[in-house]
Amino acid sequence: MGKADYRGAIRAAGQVQFDSLPEAKLKELLFVLVDAGERLDDASEEGIAGYSLAVEAGTRLVKLGSLEPPVQKGIARALWRRGHALGN
């Protein structure tokens, strides 16, 4: 992800097949997407899409048995931030 291309990173992540990614890459994607959405700091379509994709990645991780606290926290942040953005 480029230093300030958060929208581009979110759009690129939308093209990724999550079921084909290994667990380590899914974790990385989860954290990058939450970070990108937070860096946008607005209720844009891209930010909301980023949080939705982060939740999708997190859901896949849970299905794979990845329940460690950083993953749970990432999913929770994505859900909260998406709700907040939609509320705005």
pLDDT of 1 strictly over 70: no
| Residue 47 near residue 40, CB atoms below 8 Å | yes
Condensed to tens digits (0 to 9), the pLDDT of residues 8-24 reads 989 999 999 999 999 99
Condensed to tens digits (0 to 9), the pLDDT of residues 22-66 reads 999 999 999 999 999 999 877 888 899 999 999 999 999 999 999
Reduced to 3 states (helix: H, G, I; strand: E, B; else coil), residue 70 is helix
**Domain boundaries along the sequence of the chain:** 22-87
User: What is each CA distance from 4 to 9, 40, 56, 57, 59, in whole angstroms?
Assistant: 9, 9, 23, 22, 27
How is residue 4 annotated by DSSP? S
User: pTM to 2 decimals?
Assistant: 0.90
Diameter of the chain measured on Cα atoms: 34
> Which of these, 2, 13, 82, lies nearest to 42 by C-alpha position?
82
Q: Please, what CATH class does the domain formed by 22-87 belong to?
A: mainly alpha
